[in-house]
Amino acid sequence: MAFVTPTAEQLGLYLGLDEIQGDRADLLIAQAVALAESVVKPLPDQATAIVLSAAGRAYVNPQQVSYETIGPMSVQRPSGSGGLYLTKADKAALKSLAGRGGAFTVDPTPADASPWASWPLDEDPMMSGGEFEPGWGNP
């Protein structure tokens, strides 16, 4: 099964909004898909959550406002909580979902390798009782 791009209605459900601007949501979803594809292409089936997360951040806080006061009410948002971007966690999740990242081992030993020595032992003077170099062994 291939990745299916989320819809504006799904973004509205993700954000808990009764109404959503369809054209704006579609644009942000398309841009979030493009960002995600810059990390992993093709996108894995489960990448929907990451695309919705990135598009949702941009939908609710497009100007990356960190502090806002309206009348007696004020709101402070975490730094970097708006705009369209992928977090490190988003990128790591995309790579993990695609089967990339993490530790791995490469064994360079050929499949037909023998556990025994590859040199001819009968020609080794230590093993066959042959002559030693001068100064070594019995005189």
Look at 116 and 84; give whichever has higher pLDDT: 84
pTM to 2 decimals? 0.61
Query: What is the pLDDT at residue 126?
Result: 56
Structure tokens at 74: 């004020």
Q: Is the pLDDT of residue 22 over 60?
A: yes
Query: What is the pLDDT at residue 131?
Result: 62
Q: How far apart (Å, rounded) are the C-alpha atoms in residues 85 and 111?
A: 45
Query: What is the pLDDT at residue 130?
Result: 58
The mean of the pLDDT values for the chain is: 80
- Which of 9-18, 44-53, 70-79, 89-98 is predicted with the least confidence, judged by mean pLDDT? 70-79
Could you read off the pLDDT of 99-138 as tens digits, one per residue? Answer: 876 677 788 888 888 777 666 555 555 555 556 566 666 5
Query: What is the pLDDT at residue 27?
Result: 94
Q: How far apart (Å, rounded) are the C-alpha atoms in residues 21 and 11?
A: 10
- Which of 11-25, 76-90, 93-107 is predicted with the least confidence, judged by mean pLDDT? 76-90
Q: How far apart (Å, rounded) are the C-alpha atoms in residues 39 and 57?
A: 18
* β strands within 4-77, DSSP E: 67-70, 73-76
Cis check: omega of the bond before 42, within 30 degrees of 0: yes
Q: What is the mean pLDDT of residues 41-50?
A: 91
> Taking Cα atoms as reference points, which of 82, 83, 102 lies closest to residue 92?
102
